[in-house]
A = this chain, B = another copy of it.
Amino acid sequence: MARIRTAKDVSRKEVIIKAAAKLFHEKGYKAASMRDLAVKVGVEAASLYNHIRSKAELLHDICFDVANIFNAHINDVETSGKPPLEKFETLLRFHIRQMLENFEEVYVSDREWRYLADPYLSNFQNQRRNYRKRFAAIIEQGIESGVINKIDASTAVLIVLHAVSGIESWHRSTHKISGEILEENMMTILIDGLKK
């Protein structure tokens, strides 16, 4: 007989997803086993399946949660009425902060999405492409209004998003500068450039 899902099930599932995000970050999706995850959660592997449907579902939940967060944010930015350069800065800071605060999930969504299965894979790729187009459009507006250098907007998006994902290295490093200082440095380098 089907069990009735209670609030406790939901929070238990959230614990599992959080642990999965950590594990998928540490080992990579394919190298992470459900037995590894069970150890992290403190149950037997088989018990996980009382809360989740499959390993694939975990990856799916992580990736689409992150996608929703960024989609919601770019909606806000687009309708904010700010000038283009400010819109760009807001987006960039949001990416940096998500990478600082919501690190494992964002990392997994960024690097492990390719292990999604269709139809989720195609859906995710479309969302990703769409997000980048909207990001590029904001840069284009900045170029048109003369506040951003004449560069290829897609290349700029590519650089910015990958630069932010470099915060992974920062997380790993032993003697690291603070998150705030990192953020300001990244803003300076990407906006003002390296050359004086």
Interface residues of A (CB under 8 A from B): 28, 30-31, 85, 88, 111, 114-115, 139, 142, 146-149, 151-152, 154-156, 158-167, 169-170, 173, 177, 181-182, 185-186, 188-196
Q: Residues of B contacting A191 with CB < 8 Å?
A: 193-195
For residue A76, give the distance in angstroms from its CB to the closest CB of chain B.
Answer: 21
- A151–B194 contact, CB under 8 A? yes
Further 7 A-B residue pairs, CB within 8 A, beyond A162-B166, A163-B163, A191-B194:
A28-B28, A148-B195, A149-B189, A152-B181, A155-B185, A159-B166, A161-B166
- A196–B159 contact, CB under 8 A? no
- A193–B193 contact, CB under 8 A? yes
Among A146, A160, A166, the one with the most B-chain Cβ atoms within 10 Å of its Cβ is A166
With both beta carbons as reference points, the residue of chain B lying nearest to A190 in the complex is identified as B194
- B169–A158 contact, CB under 8 A? yes
How many angstroms between the C-alpha atoms of A88 and B186 in the bound complex? 18
